[in-house]
Amino acid sequence: MPPIQQHILNWLYSVLTSEYHDVNRTYGDVAQALSQYPSLSPRTDVHTFDNGTSALLLHITGTLPVIFRGTTYRFPLSIRVPYAYPREAPLIYVTPTEHMVVRPGQHVDPQGQVYHPYLAGWSTFWD
């Protein structure tokens, strides 16, 4: 696994210091994810929440390998990290390519947003 380039880590830290509540924890968790999954890449994007407010959030995109019945599939994901992370859960979406479709299911809605008991109960880990 190749190390993360220093300029990316520097950029990441500078982004987090502007608005994020727990810079060191967020930096450590994101750097670890980028190191473990080289297919992921960070950027910032404006995210509009369900209540209509918008914020410039850290946005991690790429694919995650999932082994199912002996075959490895690479799921394209979009992960938005809220300012209050780790007290608030990341927002996770399946982002299909043009040759894929999102199949709504138990943990994914028609727009690709991931709902999982772990994410739903995220705040209980911090109370």
- For residues 49 and 86, give the distance between their C-alpha atoms in angstroms, rounded to a whole number: 18
What ranges do the domains of the chain cover?
6-125
For the whole model, what pTM was predicted? 0.88
- For residues 2 and 125, give the distance between their C-alpha atoms in angstroms, rounded to a whole number: 32
At 68 the pLDDT is: 86
At 3 the pLDDT is: 82
Residues of the chain scoring pLDDT < 70:
1-2, 127
At 97 the pLDDT is: 81
CATH class for domain 6-125?
Answer: alpha beta
**Vertex 90 angle, CA 110 and 39, to 5°:** 85
At 90 the pLDDT is: 96
Give percent helix, percent strand, percent coil of the chain, each to the nearest 5: 30, 30, 40
Q: How, if at all, do strands 41-48 and 54-68 pair?
A: antiparallel
Which run of H or of E encompasses 54? strand 54-68
